[in-house]
Structure 1
């Protein structure tokens, strides 16, 4: 079993990294964490190459990420929220996933197999209505375009004051997600 975790956090020991590490240790098989801040990816240029050709015209670190995504069984997107969305480096990677959406336009969307997905979203603020909604809507669409079911969305609010060790309810959710993703 192969799992790819796209992590959008700038902080290596931040709250999002805590969730990712907790989950990673409970997943069997090969688990690869792709830290967006460590992955030099150029923005999408809207050159429209992918509308008529499989793949992307821009040749950079995404060339290694595309086959990893295509070959994984599980795809997890983990991110803190910055002004109701994901940080720019993760958004840059997401924008470069355009070839998968474009495959539906070309009519050859079978280039990526069905997989399971999940979202881990971290908000530093105390809970408020709609705190995670904008990011959830966008990231559910990303998973859908990548033919990944959204098995769960784990939301951790008030993260600036309450880390994962103080959140048994979040630990239980992560453990349950790992168990679901572990069964084929």
Structure 2
């Protein structure tokens, strides 16, 4: 079974980034394999901000009891991980950044406690989907790449590709069939790439 985790960072339930993820998931499901999909709409989760208490430096895991406790094992179990967010002020959404900050517990388990709560031998493949209302293109997305890169490293996931779409204020993705088609193809490509490596 190929377990797919989609982390939706948009505060809008059916915004541009979610529409792209829908097509990627359709592409993944089109592969005639046993596929399990978990979509997490972060705006609906109870995820408190990291308070830098360093409790995770004393024992594995985070001491804050909220919905992150459900997400940590999902990171571990996933084979394919899709992270999606609109770009706000040249970074990921507050909903997504808050979740990523709570991955300090994962980082600390490996580098401080030497007792990783993530299986470091398991192969995972990840992509980053981002949309921006501004038409400026890649300059809008560059700061977010650094955030996603460290997130994928913390959960031992190969950062495979970005899928960036700009100018969504004037041209929403719902009216850009070429973008939706590319997203569908990326879903197929993700599974193909994962199966190549997961031998």
Output the TM-score relative to the length of structure 1. Answer: 0.92
Identify unmatched segments of 5+ residues in structure 2. 30-34
Structure scoring higher RCO (CA < 8 A, sep ≥ 6) equals 2
Name 1:12's counterpart in structure 2: 13
Name the CA distance, whole Å, in 2 between partners of 1:3 and 1:127: 31
Name 1:93's counterpart in structure 2: 99
Structure 1 residues 127 and 50, CA gap change in structure 2 (3 angstroms): same
Pairwise CA RMSD of aligned residues? 1.7
Hey, which bits of structure 1, 4+ residues long, moved more than 4 A? none
Name the CA distance, whole Å, in 2 between partners of 1:119 and 1:128: 15
Name the CA distance, whole Å, in 2 between partners of 1:121 and 1:48: 31
| SS of residue in 1 equivalent to 2:183 | helix
Match of 1:78 among 79, 84, 88: 84
Count of paired positions: 184
| SS of residue in 1 equivalent to 2:139 | coil
Output the TM-score relative to the length of structure 2. Answer: 0.85
Identify unmatched segments of 5+ residues in structure 1. none
1:26 deviation in Å?
1.9
Does the 8 A contact of 1:152 with 1:177 survive in 2? no
Q: Deviations over 1:20-75 (max 9, x none)?
A: 11112222311111111101111111111212321111111111111111101011
Farther off after superposition, 133-142 or 159-168: 159-168
Name the CA distance, whole Å, in 2 between partners of 1:100 and 1:170: 34
